Structure 1
Amino acid sequence: MFQTLRSRILFYLLLSSMIGILFVSFFMQWGFEESFTKYLDRNREKKIDRIITEIEKGYQKNGHFTRDPVFGFLHEHAMTDQLYFDLYDNRGQLQMGTSNIVGYLNSLGLTEPEPNDEEWHSASYTLRANNKVIGKLVAIYPIGLIDDEYNFLQTIQLYIYAAVCLTILLSILFSMLFSKKLIAGLNKVSFAANELQQHNLSIRIPLTGLPTEVKQLAISFNNLAESLAKGEMLRKQFTGDLAHELRTPLATLRSQIEAYQDGIWEPTPARLQSSHEELMRLVRLVNELEKLLAAENPQIKLEKVEVEAGGVLAALWEMFVPLFKQKGVHLHILEPNQELIFPTDKDRLMQILSNVLNNALKYTPEGKNVTISILTEKEGYVGFKIEDEGSGMAEDDIPHIFERFYRGDKSRDRKTGGAGIGLSIVKALMEAHKGMIKVKSRINKGTSIILWFPVEDD
């Protein structure tokens, strides 16, 4: 029982609705009956006050008790309201009364017989005229409600009961509809999750008509499915690219070795050098993959030390000046105006900057410039900006340049373009540093990459 979420929601909605309905109906009935009883009591007191006023006025006018019009009022109240009176003078003698009418009417069958357990109440009121006690008036009436009053109260209670039943039916109906509507969104999420488990990565949850909370869950699920689909696409692309990267040097090596075996080629030093170069391409590819796996390891530990940014630029100058001169590209180092110290893993930092500089060198033609500078305008960060005047990239390629084996220009020679892993390593190591990367590029204008490193260690 109550194993499903819908049954639990329906049960608690109905339970809360029933409790509310019962409390409201109870207080409505109790409050109305109490107010109605007080209203009847006030109305009876007004009638009694009227009778007392008429008796005292008649006595003051005539000097004795008169039957007209008092007895007419007493008779009217006796016949219509079951309110009976006995009038006594100051000596206790009964002057007039209507209390004996009850038995008389019963004997004639003009009224309903009195119930055996009916209780009566009497109240005495002192009569005065000219500041003298002239007698007393005894009012006699049944405790509780009389016929018309009781019928009226019963009718009201009947309406209350009908309203309660109608409210209960509406509560059940709307609770079922609401629980169904709420669970419908969760059922969509559950169905989509099962589809995702069956490797249907194209499944998405429609957001229309969902409650806000369920919509947020659906958005998160859609983002997860999108991420998984993208990861699957990158995995397949990585597998294909890796196979392609391996196929070219392996095919070359295979043809050369078979040529040696068949005696078609003589193993001259030049040919052996060519075979060795193909072999070294494979070695470099494997080394790059090992570096990438190490950089993407979630348990990677950075050996952070305090490093001065100017010293890093000096080390890069010493390392890369020969390479830039060899290609004929001008390397410019802009020293910072002040000493900037920040925590970092120095070896990883040099690896990051070296990969970016190598990339800039590869795609910057002879005679052009590459510039390295330090930025500090971003609060809490130190930035290394590397600008080149190379071939640049298309706007659509920028979001993908940190993916494995990605090349914006598919026509680039893989011998000059590298394996396409260097920037993937840069991204992984920057994430390990809690840093950020910002890239701007224009085709035939050059590329600008800013590497932001936090100045405080977490």
Structure 2
Amino acid sequence: MKPPFFRSRFSLGITARLFLAVLFTAVCVVVAMTLAAQWSFNRGFLGYLNEQEAERLEAARPRIIAAYLENGSSWEFLRGERRRWFHLLRPVPAQEPQPAPSPPLSELTGALLRTTLLDENGHFVVGFSDTRGQGTRQPLQVDGRTVGYVVHAQFQSVTAAGDVRFERSQFRASWTMGAVSALLAALVALWVARVLLKPLREMAKATKRLAEGDYSIRVDARSPDEVGQLATDFNQMAQVLERNEAMRRDFMADLSHELRTPLGVLHGELEAMEDGVRPLTRESLPSLQAEVATLNKLVSDLYDLSLAEAGAMTFQHTPLDLVELLRLAVVSYAQRLSDAGIVLEVQCDEPELVVSGDRRRLRQLFSNLLENSLRYTDRGGRLQIAARRGADQQAVLTFSDSAPGVEPEQLQRIFDRFYRVEGSRSRASGGAGLGLAICRRIIEAHGGALQAQPSPLGGLLMTIRMPLNHERSGTPLHEGVGA
């Protein structure tokens, strides 16, 4: 394992590694192509020389056979006579005129010196002994009878001075082209490393700034490839983190405010009693109890909301009748609504709406919705509650109240924690802004949905939808409950 100092001092970045990888690949390809070109050239050039010699021997075979017949059908006239042998191998000027005074290519390459004559028994007659029995063997036949063999050792390397110079010039040209190709590959690799990796370097810098707490950072996501998709995902992540950070700050500010208000009232009341400004009597206790109840409600709501957001809120699902639960909730709020001057109207077309749910949580849901209407409906207004069976086998419950209403752009935000429509927090009827957030999480845990819309009465219309269950019956909710 490398020590940390070595890794920090000698480790290469992704740009350098990509550059070296592309350059190494290109150089390997260039070297392989150059070596392959040289090998192919050698094979082709030597093959060309061997073909020339084969053509020369084929043309000389009739002359060799004619000389054999003229000398008594014996090879004794050539035994040890290399000059006469070379003369037979050379073309006759009258029969094979040359277009130029230069000698044939095979003579320049020394092909004649690589040719041997063997008799019918394969015994050496004339030529060079070091080529005996090697290379290609061509028979010499007279009247269908083999009288001898011409053996030619093929070229294995270039030996003539002109051919060597030509070969070297080809090799130099190949390696020069290879060097130029490697240089071009280096330039291309540098371009790839610098240009194509530029978005990644920008995202690396942006990620570092994001880790340092700068959630406003964004990167250019105009590229249509995978890098552009990565940049888009990064921007979405940064946007979510920025929104979460803003929500966290708002949450802390709202929480501190909601806790400070009842605590401040309690502190003032207790100081007044301690200083003797306000006597400690039975009549002074209700105000203290109210502030303690406010704190207890706030802490309970925070606890429920934290459990819901963490997915740890417990539910005991059993078959129960929503109509019965709604009737109990309405009865408990009827007097408070009447005291607030709000007319309550309830309508239910079904004797029962059986669902699978948690009784305590659903009662909390109805209580929060009724509390919301109670707090935010002007005196002299109305609250209409309806329960019916939906066409898609769902139980549908609606809570519709009168003015004041909610602006359309605020309808989705009313389910955010600590969000309240009114701007002032000093409003006496204002709550902590947690009730509707808890309501949505309760209904979603039951597989249902909670939707907010403008009410025909001028206020807010809350619609609950839950899947029905048919395992038990409940007590029907009678019409006419009102205040």
What TM-score do you get using the length of structure 2 for normalisation? 0.68
1:329-349 Cα shifts (integer Å, max 9, x gaps): 212234388x7543x433223
Tell me what 2:297 maps to: 287
Tell me what 1:44 maps to: 53
Cα distance, 1:136–1:184 mapped onto 2, change above 3 Å: closer
Partner residue of 2:138 out of 122, 125, 137: 125
Could you say which structure has the greater relative contact order, defined with CA pairs below 8 angstroms and 6 or more residues apart? Answer: 2
Q: Percent identity?
A: 22
Contact 2:132 2:151 in 1 (8 A): no
User: Size of the alignment, in residue pairs?
Assistant: 422
Gaps of 5+ in 2: 1-9, 74-87, 470-483
Paired residue type of 2:422? D
Cα distance, 1:371–1:156 mapped onto 2, change above 3 Å: farther
1:151-181 Cα shifts (integer Å, max 9, x gaps): 4433333233223323333333333332334
Partner residue of 2:245 out of 208, 222, 232: 232
CA distance in 2, matches of 1:340, 1:172: 75
Cα distance, 1:87–1:219 mapped onto 2, change above 3 Å: closer
Partner residue of 1:317 out of 309, 327, 335: 327
Tell me what 1:69 maps to: 94
Q: Map 1:47-446 onto structure 2 (within 5 A).
A: 47-52=56-61, 67=92, 69=94, 76=104, 79-84=107-112, 125-128=138-141, 131=144, 143-147=156-160, 148-209=162-223, 212-245=225-258, 272=283, 276-277=286-287, 280-281=290-291, 283-297=293-307, 298=310, 300-308=312-320, 311-321=321-331, 323-324=333-334, 326=338, 327-335=342-350, 341-342=355-356, 344-363=357-376, 366-375=381-390, 377=392, 384-391=396-403, 392-410=405-423, 414-430=427-443, 436-441=449-454, 445-446=458-459
Contact 2:301 2:434 in 1 (8 A): no
1:49-75 Cα shifts (integer Å, max 9, x gaps): 344468789999xxx999563586796
Cα distance, 1:432–1:165 mapped onto 2, change above 3 Å: farther
CA distance in 1, matches of 2:468, 2:25: 56
Contact 1:90 1:134 in 2 (8 A): yes
CA distance in 1, matches of 2:96, 2:118: 15
The alpha carbon displacement at 1:399 in A equals: 2.5
The alpha carbon displacement at 1:303 in A equals: 3.5
For the residue of structure 1 that corresponds to 2:217, the secondary structure is: coil
Cα distance, 1:212–1:313 mapped onto 2, change above 3 Å: farther
CA distance in 1, matches of 2:137, 2:275: 141
Cα distance, 1:172–1:433 mapped onto 2, change above 3 Å: farther
CA distance in 2, matches of 1:332, 1:426: 22
What TM-score do you get using the length of structure 1 for normalisation? 0.71
Cα distance, 1:80–1:72 mapped onto 2, change above 3 Å: farther
CA distance in 2, matches of 1:252, 1:314: 39
For the residue of structure 2 that corresponds to 1:410, the secondary structure is: coil
1:358-394 Cα shifts (integer Å, max 9, x gaps): 324544563452323454739xxx5654241434422
